[in-house]
């Protein structure tokens, strides 16, 4: 058996990121930057008002009170998107809207709420009474207040989030270098499988691994490619795998990777080149295969559904993340306390126990899901983590255990008050 870390390194070596491509930021949401981006200019490029109100000289309104307001001459009105034509002199003001450029001479904005018309109606454009003082710079968004020219907007390896797309748009950046989203194909083989709308005959089962792995690939950030089901025929399987290699960056199969098993996929891969049939020192998901089809990496996952899912999490998902250009390849991990004893027998493997993560007295806790069999997918669907129980006789209740967090969003939702 080979340690998980060693097999993981082998898989990642087979899955280098592809060449980057240029994309408009709006078309690159969720993709990873292959090159850092710097600001081409100050942002914003001019001082603007943060409020609807009046641009003034702060020294002019320093003595203002509601009983003794300061009356200023209104010399202009500036709307957002317009350039001021007048400067602000002594005891003058410019009516200004949020986002409009601050005129020369003004160093503060008086909110409209602390003013009133002076000697006329609310619409009087001649004078305004200021009821409160403002400090220099108050309610003014300074030029380059967000970012200065040459400042890094995002580093290589950053993910294009909605906020970052907005930043790039506001900076006038029309294209960025990103790692394209990997196309991950999932294929099912075997005469024992059926897919809806067919019902399984005696000795047959419904194909659950393919839809599950397609969903898992999509959740990992890949573009899933459904390669369908292929009967147990050497020529048909070979043709399907070559077709998959033509359209995908990574191929996933499930089943037929156990030692000594005469599976059609195994026969085909043995003829195609360089497969490695591996026994990983974990439970579940011990059998695993790494191969290539016409230069495209193929990962052979175990056939039992829980084993296939666990194998995906610890080996295929990091490969997809690397193909997508991510630097953080693995799920987050926490150290938790075992709510109950995590018993096991020594067998030379790390056991990946499916658990529900909770919180008690400020500490993370884990409780195994109801069923741990490699075929019992229903119980596994409720798991929020994989607890790594090292080789030995297990862990006592209250012992610390490292946990891979599978569902961060779901975990947060469950723990919310």
Mean pLDDT of 310-319: 97
Enumerate residues 6+ apart whose C-beta is below 8 A from 37. 152, 153, 154, 168, 173, 176
Mean pLDDT of 72-90: 95
Residue 401 lies in a domain: yes
Q: Residue 158: which CATH number?
A: 3.90.105.10
Q: Is the distance from CB of 100 to CB of 139 less than 8 angstroms?
A: no
Q: Residue 380: which CATH number?
A: 2.40.340.10
The residue with greater pLDDT, 188 or 179, is 179
> Order of strands, edge to edge, in the sheet holding 250-254?
223-230, 183-189, 250-254, 296-301, 287-293, 276-279
187 and 306 housed in the same domain: yes
Upper half-sphere CA count for residue 389 (Cβ side, 13 Å): 28
Q: With bands split at pLDDT 50, 70 and 90, how would you rate the model's confidence at 124?
A: very low
171 and 188 housed in the same domain: no
- Please give the structure tokens belonging to residue 88: 């602000």
Q: How many helices (H) and strands (E) would you count in the chain?
A: 9, 29
Q: With bands split at pLDDT 50, 70 and 90, how would you rate the model's confidence at 415?
A: low
Residue 232 lies in a domain: yes
Residue 258 lies in a domain: yes
280 and 346 housed in the same domain: no
Residue 97 lies in a domain: yes
- Please give the structure tokens belonging to residue 278: 């591996």
The residue with greater pLDDT, 228 or 124, is 228
Q: With bands split at pLDDT 50, 70 and 90, how would you rate the model's confidence at 260?
A: low
Residue 119's pLDDT is 63
42-51, 67-76, 106-115, 256-265, range with the lowest pLDDT: 256-265
Evaluate if residue 2 carries a pLDDT over 70. yes
26 and 169 housed in the same domain: yes
Mean pLDDT of 323-343: 95
409 and 314 housed in the same domain: no
Evaluate if residue 120 carries a pLDDT over 70. no
129 and 117 housed in the same domain: yes
| pLDDT > 90 fraction of the chain, expressed in percent and rounded | 79
| CA dist list (Å): 298 to 27, 42, 248, 318, 383 | 28, 47, 10, 14, 27
Residue 192's pLDDT is 83
How far is 288 from 151, CA to CA, in rounded Å? 46
189 and 292 housed in the same domain: yes
How far is 155 from 149, CA to CA, in rounded Å? 15
Enumerate residues 6+ apart whose C-beta is below 8 A from 112. 51, 52, 53, 54
Give Cα 247 to chain centroid, integer Å: 25
Residue 328 lies in a domain: no
Instruction: Write the DSSP string, 61-121.
Output: GTT--SSSPEEEEEEEEE-TT----S---TTEEEEE-TTPBPPTT--EEEEGGGEEESSS-
Residue 121's pLDDT is 44
Q: With bands split at pLDDT 50, 70 and 90, how would you rate the model's confidence at 123?
A: very low
Q: How far apart are the first and last CA of the chain?
A: 45
Residue 366's pLDDT is 95
189 and 67 housed in the same domain: no
Q: Is the distance from CB of 113 to CB of 133 less than 8 angstroms?
A: no
Q: With bands split at pLDDT 50, 70 and 90, how would you rate the model's confidence at 402?
A: very high
Angle between helices 264-272 and 234-247 (to 10 degrees): 60
Torsion of CA 64, 70, 72, 77, to 10 degrees: 50
Evaluate if residue 355 carries a pLDDT over 80. yes
How far is 1 from 279, CA to CA, in rounded Å? 5
110 and 130 housed in the same domain: yes
Instruction: Write the DSSP string, 143-167.
Output: TTSSB-TT-EEE-TT-B--HHHHHH
Each residue's pLDDT tens digit, 23-55:
999 999 999 999 999 999 999 999 999 999 999
Where among 305, 323, 341 does a domain terminate? 323
How far is 291 from 187, CA to CA, in rounded Å? 15
Where among 277, 293, 323 does a domain terminate? 323
Q: Residue 10: which CATH number?
A: 3.40.980.10
- Please give the structure tokens belonging to residue 372: 């741990």
356 and 271 housed in the same domain: no
For the chain, the 3-state helix, strand and coil shares in percent, each to the nearest 5, are 25, 30, 45
103 and 235 housed in the same domain: no
The residue with greater pLDDT, 409 or 267, is 267
Evaluate if residue 416 carries a pLDDT over 80. no
Each residue's pLDDT tens digit, 363-381:
899 999 988 888 889 889 9
37-41, 132-136, 160-164, 194-198, range with the lowest pLDDT: 194-198
How many domains does one find in the chain?
4
Mean pLDDT over the full length of the chain: 92
- Please give the structure tokens belonging to residue 246: 């033509």
Residue range(s) defining the domain that contains residue 310: 4-16+181-323
219 and 305 housed in the same domain: yes
Residue 372's pLDDT is 86
């Amino acid at each position: 058996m080979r340690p998980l870390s060693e097999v993981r390194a082998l898989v990642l070596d087979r899955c280098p990121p592809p060449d980057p491509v240029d994309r408009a930021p709006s078309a690159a949401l969720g993709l990873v930057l292959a090159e850092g981006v710097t600001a081409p200019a100050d942002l914003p490029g001019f001082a603007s008002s943060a409020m609807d109100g009046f641009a003034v000289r702060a020294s002019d309104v320093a003595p203002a009170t509601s009983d003794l307001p300061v009356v200023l001459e209104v010399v202009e009105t500036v709307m957002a998107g317009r350039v001021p034509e007048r400067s602000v002199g002594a005891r003058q003001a410019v009516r200004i809207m949020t986002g409009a450029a601050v005129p020369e001479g003004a160093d503060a904005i008086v909110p409209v709420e602390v003013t009133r018309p002076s000697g006329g109606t609310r619409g009087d454009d001649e004078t305004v009474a200021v009821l409160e003082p403002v400090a220099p710079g108050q309610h003014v968004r300074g030029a380059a207040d967000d970012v200065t020219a040459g400042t890094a907007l995002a580093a290589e390896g950053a993910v294009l989030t909605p906020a970052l797309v907005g930043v790039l748009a506001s900076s006038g950046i029309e294209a960025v270098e990103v790692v394209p989203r990997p196309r991950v194909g999932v294929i099912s083989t075997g005469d024992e499988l059926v897919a809806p709308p067919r019902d399984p005959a005696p000795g047959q089962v419904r194909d659950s691994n393919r839809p599950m792995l397609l969903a898992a690939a999509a959740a990992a950030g890949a573009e899933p490619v459904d390669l369908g089901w292929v009967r147990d025929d050497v020529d048909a399987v070979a043709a399907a795998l070559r077709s998959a290699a033509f359209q995908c960056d990574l191929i996933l199969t499930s089943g037929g990777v156990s030692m000594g098993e005469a599976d059609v996929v195994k026969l085909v891969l043995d003829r195609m080149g360089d497969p490695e049939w591996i026994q990983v020192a974990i439970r579940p998901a011990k059998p695993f295969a790494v191969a290539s089809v016409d230069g495209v990496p193929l990962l052979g996952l175990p056939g039992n559904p829980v084993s296939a899912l666990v194998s995906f999490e610890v080996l295929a998902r990091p490969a997809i993340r690397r193909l997508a250009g991510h630097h953080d390849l693995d799920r987050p991990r926490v150290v938790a306390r075992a709510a109950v004893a995590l018993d096991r027998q020594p067998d030379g493997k790390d056991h990946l126990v499916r658990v529900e993560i909770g919180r008690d007295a400020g500490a993370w806790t884990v409780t195994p899901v109801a069923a741990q069999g490699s075929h019992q997918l229903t119980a596994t669907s409720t798991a929020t983590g994989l607890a790594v129980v090292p080789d030995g006789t297990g862990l006592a209740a209250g012992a610390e255990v490292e946990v891979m967090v599978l569902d961060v969003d779901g975990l947060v939702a469950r723990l919310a008050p």
